[in-house]
């Protein structure tokens, strides 16, 4: 897969970071506004997919992107599991919200829910990115 | 009642694609249709007339919300649907590489 | 209300086009139309969380389908005029199963509450106590990450398994 | 390095617009996230930060917006006239033009401006040669076509981006 023309490249250069920031905003405000880990994670994956599509699969270092996305996916899953186990370590149940709730309607509130959102976002984004790389990037799959 | 019947019709259209079509990608699209129909049916069951989305905007606002539980169930189902679709598509790519066709009758003949 | 009916009609038309059209790329795009009308209906029934996820996931689904179609073939060669002898059995099977599903579904729909008047016994508890117990103002986030955390955990496991499946199916050669 | 600084400023501005608050927690998270976005994506960005700080570029950009609107309106009326006219005076074709802009961002803006005015559409770009699909091919000559299509935009874009 070759890259596209200079116009597409220039625009996607500017937009990819903005899309990443928007996805992060959706994840971090998941407990206050619509959105959350699922939506934000997919948006972050979309920002990387935009770069891959516009610059072409030959441009990216495929091996290291696979390694990165697997590391992030495992990290997300591990973080979610640790957050769930925190309640068990504190002497209550699995998935207890033990961190203080904070003031409502503020960004830093709701205990473990924002952290769990971040974990879910990392997991979903990295997982979908590696699925996309496997489906669309060329070298990994076939040598026709 | 009519929106529910619309969802059922979408599920039946997906079923039609799965059963009668012989192209593998059409079958995958049929599975997606069934998934959309089920998700939409869930969201419609939770709808309440003249109610708001389940998000508290200020501490003293009235709690007249639509049912949040179907939404929470469907939210995970949508992402899982994308994952299963991806597995289906990767299988389709492999089948095409091996048999050079997407027609299931041809594949059945070429098997072995 | 009328906009939901119109969108349902548009969605069903796009679904039929997606199943029947010959060009597979056009078929994937028609499936995108179905997904986007589903997203708009999610907004109309006051489910913004679902609408955001549906829109983004729909884009990715179309991208995945396009990637697959670029890898394989563009045209559906199985479509031909008239019904062949081997094509008659699936049609009969569809008529049997389709009528069965429709009749049973409509029979089951009678037990559901009417459209627009849900029974909210459990949800009432979550709505009233959600802000105090979890601190999250988005009730849907409170449910998926606090009250029903197990559910989300199972979802994460399923997603992990599907990623594993895709990478295993598509890898070039096994490790020695 | 300096390109990354300008990208960081842009990202932080976007975060402030999104959250619309100066609550300290949100501000700290915004700064960290903009840094993250800059580290990951900033390497692709090539626009010198000095150019953002020069006020006359911003002034020319503010002038460019109404000029572009006026040109767009004129092109709209022109295409509408061609559609309504009973003889349909159409002579479509693809012409080649040569731009004087050097930076990628300037060329992108020029191509997008040409595409957004009705009647002309940029099809492909190859270094400083643009291929334009034109609904009424007045000239096929390179110099004249450049003057006709790109001339009104290029004057301002040269001052903004070069």
Cβ-Cβ contacts under 8 Å for D29 (sequence gap 6 or more): A28, A107
Average pLDDT over residues D120-125: 83
Chains D and C touch (3+ CB pairs under 8 A): no
Domain carrying residue A85: 6-136
Question: What integer best gives the mean pLDDT of chain B?
Answer: 85
Place of tokens 């829910």: A113
pLDDT tens-digit map of B28-50: 999 999 999 999 888 888 888 88
Whether residue A5 and residue D125 make contact (CB cut-off 8 A), yes or no, is yes
pLDDT 10s digits, D26-60: 888 888 888 888 888 776 666 666 666 677 778 88
Q: How many domains does chain A have?
A: 1
Task: Give the CATH number of the domain where residue B15 resides.
Answer: 1.10.287.3510
How far is Cα A25 from Cα B98, in angstroms, rounded to an integer?
44
Q: What is the mean pLDDT of residues C21-28?
A: 88
Least-confidence region, from A9-13, A109-113, C60-64, C95-99: A109-113
Instruction: Report if residue A91 sits inside a domain.
Output: yes
Residue A97: predicted pLDDT: 67
Average of pLDDT values for C39-55? Answer: 88
Q: Which residues contact B79 (CB under 8 A, 6 or more apart)?
A: A38, A42, A124, C53, C57, C155, C159
Q: Is the pLDDT of residue A144 over 50?
A: no
Chain B residues whose CB is inside 8 A of the C166 CB are 86-87, 90
Predicted local confidence at residue A142, as pLDDT: 46
Comparing alpha-carbon positions, the chain A residue that sits nearest to D13 is A18
Using a CB-CB cut-off of 8 Å, the residues of chain B touching C18 are 29, 33
Please state the three-class secondary structure of C114-175 as a single string: CCECCCCHHHHHHHHHHHHHHCCCEHHHHHHHHHCHHHHHHHHHHHHHHHHHHHHHCCCCCC
For residues A95 and C146, the answer to whether their CB atoms sit within 8 Å is: yes
Report the pLDDT averaged over residues D124-141.
80
**The complex's ipTM?**
0.84
Confidence tier at C175 by pLDDT (50, 70, 90): low
Mutate to test the interface with A, among D27, D31, D45, D108 (most CBs of A within 10 A): D108
Selected residue with higher pLDDT from D138 and B84: B84
Q: What is the tally of structural domains in chain B?
A: 1
Residue-wise pLDDT tens digits, D58-102: 888 888 888 888 888 988 898 888 888 888 777 788 888 888 877
Residues 54-93 (C) with a CB less than 8 A from some CB of A: 56-57, 59-60, 63-64, 67-68, 71
Q: Is A140 on the interface with D (CB under 8 A)?
A: no
What pLDDT, on the 0 to 100 scale, is given for residue A11? 84
Q: In angstroms, rounded to a whole number, what is the distance separating the alpha carbons of residues D74 and D80?
A: 10
Distance of CA C125 to the CA centre of its chain: 29
| Residues D113-141, mean pLDDT to the nearest whole number | 81
Residues of A in contact with C136 (CB under 8 A): 31-32, 109-110, 113
Confidence band of B19 (pLDDT split at 50, 70, 90): confident
Interface membership of C87 toward B (CB under 8 Å): yes
Which region among A73-77, A100-104, D16-20, D116-120 has the lowest average model confidence (pLDDT)? Answer: A100-104
Inter-chain contact A7–D111, Cβ cutoff 8 Å?
yes
Angle at Cα B97 formed by Cα B92 and Cα B103, nearest 5°?
Answer: 55
Which range has the worst mean pLDDT, A57-66, A84-93, C41-50?
A57-66
d(CA C72, CA C28): 14
State the residue for tokens 């270092």.
A61
Please give the Cα distance from C34 to C42 (Å, whole number).
12
Determine the distance in angstroms separating the CA of A17 from the nearest CA of chain D, rounded to an integer.
5
The answer to whether residue A33 sits within a structural domain is yes
Is 60 exceeded by the pLDDT of residue A1? no
The pLDDT value recorded for residue D58 is 80
C-alpha distance from C175 to closest chain B C-alpha (Å): 18
Chain C touched by B107 (CB under 8 Å): no
The verdict on D38 touching A (C-beta cutoff 8 Å) is yes
- 8 Å CB contact between C30 and C121: no
Residue to mutate among B7, B10, B36, with most C CBs inside 10 A, is B36
Rg of chain C, C-alpha, whole Å: 21
Give residue for tokens 């939770």: B46
What per-residue confidence (pLDDT) applies to B43? 86
Helix (H) or strand (E) holding D20: none
- pLDDT at position D33: 85
> Do the strands D93-98 and D129-134 form a parallel or antiparallel pair, or are they unpaired?
antiparallel
Specify the higher pLDDT residue, B102 or C116: B102
What integer pLDDT is reported at residue B58 of this predicted model? 76
How close A134 comes to chain C (CA, Å)? 6
- Test C140 with B75 for CB contact under 8 angstroms: yes
Per-residue pLDDT band for A73 (boundaries 50, 70, 90) equals confident
Q: How far lies A70's CA from each of A73, A77, A115, D61, in Å?
A: 5, 11, 20, 44
Closest CA to C152 of D59, A54, A121, A26: A121
Is residue C19 predicted with pLDDT exceeding 70? yes
Residue A73 lies in a domain: yes
Alpha-carbon gap, residue C126 to C134, rounded angstroms: 10
Q: Is the dihedral of CA D71, D77, D79, D82 positive or negative?
A: negative
In angstroms, the CA D15 to CA D115 distance is 30
Greater model confidence, C2 or B1: C2
In a domain, A42, yes or no: yes
Does any domain span residue A27? yes
DSSP per-residue letters across A83-136: HHHHHHHTTS-TT---S---STTSSS-STTHHHHHHHHHHHHHHHHHHHHHHHH
- Whether there are 3 or more C-beta pairs closer than 8 Å between B and A is yes
Q: Would an 8 Å CB–CB cutoff place D12 in contact with chain A? A: no
Which neighbouring-strand residues pair with A121?
A: none
Assess whether pLDDT exceeds 50 at residue A141.
no
Are A132 and C63 inside 8 Å of each other by CB? yes
Looking at the DSSP bridge assignments, the partners of residue B48 are C116
| Sheet hosting strand D93-98, strand order edge to edge | D93-98, D129-134, D120-126
Q: Where are the domains of chain D?
A: 2-50, 55-161
Q: Give me chain A's average pLDDT, please.
A: 78
Q: Tell the burial category of A3 from Cβ atoms under 10 Å away from its Cβ (0-12, 13-18, 19+).
A: middle
A125-134, B33-42, C23-32, D89-98, range with the lowest pLDDT: D89-98
Nearest C-alpha in D relative to A19: D37
CA nearest B92: which of B31, B41, B24, B22?
A: B24
Q: Which of A38, C113, A45 is nearest to B47 (CA)?
A: C113
């Amino acid at each position: 897969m070759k890259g596209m023309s200079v116009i597409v490249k220039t625009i996607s250069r500017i937009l990819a970071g903005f899309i990443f920031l928007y996805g992060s905003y959706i994840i971090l405000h998941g407990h206050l506004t619509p959105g959350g880990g699922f939506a934000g994670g997919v948006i972050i994956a979309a920002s990387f997919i935009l770069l891959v599509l516009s610059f072409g699969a030959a441009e990216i270092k495929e091996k290291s992107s696979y390694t990165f996305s697997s590391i992030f996916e495992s990290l997300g899953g591990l973080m979610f599991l640790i957050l769930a186990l925190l309640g068990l370590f504190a002497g209550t149940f699995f998935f207890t919200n033990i961190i203080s709730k904070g003031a409502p309607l503020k960004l830093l509130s709701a205990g473990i829910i924002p952290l769990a959102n971040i974990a879910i976002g990392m997991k979903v984004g990295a997982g979908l990115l590696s699925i996309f790389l496997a489906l669309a990037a060329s070298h990994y799959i076939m040598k026709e | 009642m009519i929106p529910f019947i619309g969802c059922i019709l979408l599920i039946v259209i997906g079923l039609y694609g799965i059963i009668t079509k012989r192209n593998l990608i059409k079958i995958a699209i049929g599975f997606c249709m069934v998934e959309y129909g089920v998700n939409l049916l869930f969201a419609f069951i939770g709808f309440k007339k003249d109610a708001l989305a389940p998000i508290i905007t200020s501490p003293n606002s009235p709690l007249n919300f639509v049912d949040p539980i179907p939404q929470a169930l469907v939210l995970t189902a949508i992402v899982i649907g994308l994952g299963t679709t991806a597995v289906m598509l990767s299988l389709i790519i492999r089948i095409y590489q091996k048999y050079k066709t997407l027609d299931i009758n041809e594949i059945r003949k070429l098997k072995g | 209300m009328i906009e939901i009916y119109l969108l349902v009609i548009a969605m069903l038309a796009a679904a039929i086009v997606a199943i029947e059209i010959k060009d597979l790329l056009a078929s994937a795009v028609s499936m995108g139309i179905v997904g986007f009308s589903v997203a708009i209906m999610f907004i109309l029934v006051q489910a913004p969380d679902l609408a955001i996820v549906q829109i983004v996931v729909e884009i990715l689904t179309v991208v995945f389908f396009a990637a697959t179609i670029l890898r394989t073939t563009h045209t559906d060669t199985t479509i031909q005029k008239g019904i062949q002898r081997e094509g008659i059995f699936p049609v009969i099977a569809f008529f049997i199963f389709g009528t069965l599903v429709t009749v049973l579904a409509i029979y089951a729909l009678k037990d559901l509450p009417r459209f627009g008047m849900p029974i909210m016994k459990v949800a009432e508890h979550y709505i009233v106590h959600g802000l105090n117990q979890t601190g999250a103002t988005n009730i849907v986030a409170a449910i998926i990450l606090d009250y029903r955390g197990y559910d989300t955990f199972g979802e994460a496991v399923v997603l992990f398994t599907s990623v594993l499946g895709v990478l295993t199916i598509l890898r070039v050669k096994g490790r020695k | 390095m300096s390109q990354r600084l300008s990208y960081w400023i842009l990202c932080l501005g976007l975060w402030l617009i999104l959250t619309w608050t100066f609550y300290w927690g949100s501000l700290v998270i915004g700064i960290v996230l903009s840094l993250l976005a800059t580290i990951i994506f900033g390497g692709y960005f090539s626009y010198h930060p000095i150019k953002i700080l020069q006020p006359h570029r911003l002034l020319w950009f503010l002038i460019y917006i109404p000029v572009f609107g006026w040109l767009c309106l004129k092109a709209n009326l022109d295409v509408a006239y061609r559609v309504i006219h009973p003889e349909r005076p159409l002579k479509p074709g693809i012409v080649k033009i040569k731009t004087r802009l050097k930076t990628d961002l300037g060329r992108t803006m020029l191509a997008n401006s040409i595409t957004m005015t009705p009647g002309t559409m940029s099809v492909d770009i190859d270094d400083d040669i643009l291929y334009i699909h034109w609904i009424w091919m007045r000239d096929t000559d390179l110099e004249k076509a450049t003057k006709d299509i790109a001339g009104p935009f290029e004057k301002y874009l040269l001052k903004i981006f070069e």
